[in-house]
Structure 1
Amino acid sequence: MIDRIKNTFAIAGLIHEIWHYLAARLLGFEARLYCERVTIICYGDSDWRELAVALAPAVVGWVGFIVVAGILWILQIYTAALFAVVPLTFWQLLLLCSDDYHQTWRQVKG
Structure 2
Amino acid sequence: GLVGLYLLWLVVGYLRVSQVGIAERRSGAEAVPLLRSADGEPSARGVPYCAFDGIQYPAGARFCTSCERDLTLDCVNCKTTLAAGEAACFRCGTPTGA
TM-score range, shorter chain: 0.3 to 0.5
Which structure's residues are more often strand, by fraction?
2
Give the TM-score, by structure 1 length. Answer: 0.31
Superposition TM-score, scaled by structure 2 size:
0.34
Q: Which has the higher helix share?
A: 1
Greater length-normalized contact order (CA 8 Å, ≥ 6 residues apart): 1
